[in-house]
């Protein structure tokens, strides 16, 4: 949509984005949507002791691994 609007602007025709969306049958909010995914925020300082604990005792589940060093279970699950 932005390229169409830019092309029309280059030709000397100024058309609002909402009008273009009506013409093409597209919701205006979809033209501006840019999905982003942030990387997992696990620091190596937290990951290293947890990995050592899992290697030492592979039968431990994530709840046990999280409870021993008193960490959040979600952090343990990300690792």
> Cβ contacts of residue 69 below 8 Å, gap of 6+?
49, 50, 53
Q: Is the pLDDT of residue 35 over 80?
A: yes
According to DSSP, residue 11 is labeled: T
**Greater confidence, 72 or 64?**
64
According to DSSP, residue 12 is labeled: T
pLDDT > 70: percent of the chain: 100
- pLDDT value for 65: 79
pTM over 0.75: no
- pLDDT value for 28: 86
């Amino acid at each position: 949509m932005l390229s169409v609007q830019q092309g029309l602007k280059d030709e000397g025709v100024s058309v609002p984005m909402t009008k273009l969306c009506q013409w093409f049958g597209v919701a205006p909010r979809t033209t501006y949507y840019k999905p982003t995914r942030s990387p997992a925020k696990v620091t190596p300082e937290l990951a290293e002791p947890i990995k050592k604990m899992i290697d030492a005792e592979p039968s431990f589940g994530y709840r046990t691994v999280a409870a021993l060093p008193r960490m959040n279970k979600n952090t343990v699950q990300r690792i």
